[in-house]
Amino acid sequence: MLEANLSQPPQGGDPATALEQTRGIIEARVIAYGAKDVKVESSPPKNIVASIGGVEAADARRLATARGVVDFRRPVITPEGLVACKTPAGQAFGVPPNNVNPDSASGSHARCFSLDKLGDPVWQPADLLSPDGSRRRLTNDMIVPGSWQERTDLASPAITVQFNDDGTKLLDDLTAPLVRYPLGVFVDGTLIAAPRITRAISNGHPVISGFDGHEAHLLVAELNSAPLPVPVSEVTSPSP
C-alpha cells in the first residue's frame, strides 16, 4: 500500500489528477523494469494499491517511491585548479582532480584522497553565467523524455541519455573547462555517478558509468518516466 502526499499538488493541478498521474508513472516504471502481473490502482483520496510480481521487494519499493529528479553538479575548483573538498568534520582541503575517485570502502562515487585527509568534493549547481547576467543551469527538463538507455556493449555497465538542443549547448559549454574533473550526477539529492570528463561533450549524449548492471537497469526504468509529481511513501494500511 502506498500513500501519496497530496498537500502540495503540482502547480495548476488538483489532488485527484496528481494521484492518477503518480499511479500511471509507478505502473510504467515497474513494467519497464520487467515486472510481471502488474496491477497498480488508485484508491482515493490519497492511496495507491500495487501488486507487482517478478521483482525483488526492495526494487519494487524504490521504483514506486523514488521521485526520480536528476540534478547535475560541478565541483568547486580553487584558483590553483584543485577540487575543493571537506572532511566529515568540515575541514576544508583541496586535491588535484586525479585524486577524486570512487571509494569502495564507503561506497561513494567520488571521494577526495590526500596524503593526510579523506573527504568529499564540494559540489555546486552545474550552471554558467550568461552574457546578460542570468545563469543557465543544466536541469532534468533538458533531457529528452524516454532517452535513458542501458549500454551493454561496453567493458562495464553504463547508461546514456540525450539532451535537447538547449541542454546539448549548455553541456558542451560546461564540460569544456571541466576536462579531467568529475561531473556529479545526482538523483533525488544522492550522488549516483561522478564520471571524469575526458573531453567536452558536444553531442548532448553522455555515457555515464560507475555502477553495476542491476543498478543501471533500475535507473533506466526509474528515469525514463517523468519524476513523481508528489512524494510517495509505503504504508501498512490505507489512511482514513
CATH number of the domain to which 166 belongs: 3.30.1360.200
Residue 45, domain extent: 2-68+226-234
DSSP the chain: -EEE--SSPPTT--HHHHHHHHHHHHHHHHHHHT-EEEEEEEETTTEEEEEEESS-HHHHHHHHH----EEEEEE-B-TTSPEEEE-TT--EEEE-GGGEEEETTTTEEEEEE-SS-EEEEPEEESEEE-TTS-EEE-BGGGBPTT--EEE-SSSS-EEE--B-HHHHHHHHHHHGGGTTSB-EEEETTEEEE-PBP-S---SS--EEE-S-HHHHHHHHHHHTSPPPSS-EEE-SS---
Query: 239 in a domain, yes or no?
Result: no
pLDDT, tens digit (0-9, with 9 covering 90-100), for 137-179: 999 999 999 999 999 888 889 999 999 999 999 999 999 999 9
**Omega of the bond leading into 96 within 30 degrees of 0 (cis):** no
Query: 240 in a domain, yes or no?
Result: no
**Total count of domains within the chain:** 3
Domain co-membership, 18 together with 60 = yes
Q: What's the pLDDT at 11?
A: 76
Domain co-membership, 110 together with 137 = no
Q: What's the pLDDT at 211?
A: 85
Domain co-membership, 163 together with 207 = yes
Query: 174 in a domain, yes or no?
Result: yes
Domain co-membership, 111 together with 141 = no
Q: What is the pTM (predicted TM-score) of this model?
A: 0.92
Answer whether 33's CB lies under 8 Å from 55's CB: yes
pLDDT, tens digit (0-9, with 9 covering 90-100), for 77-106: 999 999 999 999 999 999 999 999 999 998
Q: Give CA–CA dist 240/228, Å, rounded.
A: 23
Domain co-membership, 207 together with 112 = no
Domain co-membership, 116 together with 198 = no
